[in-house]
Amino acid sequence: MFKRLMGSAAIVVATMLPQPGFANTSAQLIEIKGEVIDTWCYFSGVMGGEDAVIGSAHHTCALWCAAGGIPVGVRTEEGDVFMVLKYSGEDILEKTDTIMEVQSDVITAKGMHYVRDGVNYLVVENVIANDGIQVLNHEDYGSVPPNSFPKNYK
Amino acid sequence: MQFLKSLLALSLFVGMSNAVFAEEEGPFSKGSTAKTFGFQEEEKALFTGKVVDVLCEISGDCADNCGNGDRLLGIVRDADNKLILPLKNGQFSFNGPVEDLLPYCGRAVDVDGIMVGDAEVYGSKFYMVQKIRDAGAPEFRKANLWTKAWAKRNEESAKKKGPWFRKDPRVLRQIEATGYFGLGHEADRKYAAENQ
């Protein structure tokens, strides 16, 4: 797990330091590139495998989940997921459009990475690049779930 | 008809596992009456812990009243001091757990629900909280506060027909801007032309 993390994030500060006063937590500044995802559908398997619950196929569902207060993650190409706690100065559940606008996008960001009890947490301090939606899997899966695309689209 | 559509959406969200996984017995399953759905590596989990602001817990960046609904909340489990991250409440329409946990900020609670996900792959399991109460209180209450809280925040939208996620202003603004696949309206039109 740790080796995968080292491979998936460019390390700005080389050492992952224990947090003084915060038991079982370590922290480091990292640069990370990954897709902004809906974590419930990803981890639970509720809508099928990982490949179907990312990208364009799952975009509308990702919007629903982000608006619904389900934690948002950043998933690296290697498959590691970082739970986002703050995004560009906003707490992640603030009722703004900031986090909505980047759902399913592949972003490159700098921020503080914390690990506690096997979970990666990320405070996104600034977004360096946004490559937009890169996984065009609606061509393979349609919309996931199917009712996230209108039955009679006009 | 709208009710049936809503029901379909809800059942899709909870029960549409393409692969149905076997329920497992976990270290905190004893005594749990949580509902199970066949999610990945699913196990019931009933435990006692303290509700915390996750960011405060791991970094010391704390906010009043656990962020008043703007921050992810977790539960530090008494038995092993692990920070458990709930992703979901007990409702079936794309709802997170913050509204159900926030009233217990900083307090000891009993929670019942399910852990999901493959800890070997993801580093941890994640929680769906279905019931919550003050630790030792006689009765649980269902963790289902999200949609009522949404309706209170979005009074005009709540008056319209349909489930919240089809009329949420934040969702609608994004679909208006970039379509259902997030690739622009031309991509939506092309998909509809080829598949409907």
pLDDT value at residue A133: 98
Nearest C-alpha in B relative to A90: B70
Of A1, A97, A123, the CB nearest to B123: A1
pLDDT value at residue B14: 47
- Cβ within 8 Å, pair A63-B171: yes
Tens of pLDDT, residues A98-137:
999 999 999 999 999 999 999 999 999 999 999 999 999 9
Give CA–CA dist B74/A3, Å, rounded.
26
pLDDT value at residue A17: 63
Nearest C-alpha in A relative to B95: A68
The CATH number assigned to the domain with range A26-147 reads 2.40.50
Tokens of B12: 């899709």
- Say whether pLDDT at B3 is over 80: no
- Cβ within 8 Å, pair A49-B18: yes
- Say whether pLDDT at B4 is over 90: no
Burial of A112: CB neighbours in 10 Å, binned 0-12, 13-18, 19+: buried
Contacts of A32 (CB under 8 A, 6+ apart): A8, A9, A10, A74, A76, A82, A108, A109, A110, A111, A113, A122
Q: What is the ipTM of this complex?
A: 0.90
Domain ranges of chain A: 26-147
pLDDT value at residue A6: 44
- Mean pLDDT, residues B63-91: 98
Nearest-neighbour CA in chain B from A1: distance (Å)? 7
Tens of pLDDT, residues B97-143:
999 999 999 999 999 999 999 999 999 999 999 999 999 999 999 99
Who wins on pLDDT, A142 or A20?
A142
Tens of pLDDT, residues A3-27:
444 445 544 444 566 666 666 678 8
- Say whether pLDDT at B9 is over 50: no
Of B71, B82, B96, the CB nearest to A68: B96
Query: What is the length of chain B?
Result: 196
How many angstroms separate the Cα of A58 from the Cα of each of A27, A85, A90, A140, B145?
31, 22, 24, 12, 25
- Cβ within 8 Å, pair A92-B191: no
**Model pTM score:** 0.90
Nearest-neighbour CA in chain A from B31: distance (Å)? 22
Tell me which residue of B147, B142, B70 sits closest to B102, measured CA to CA: B70
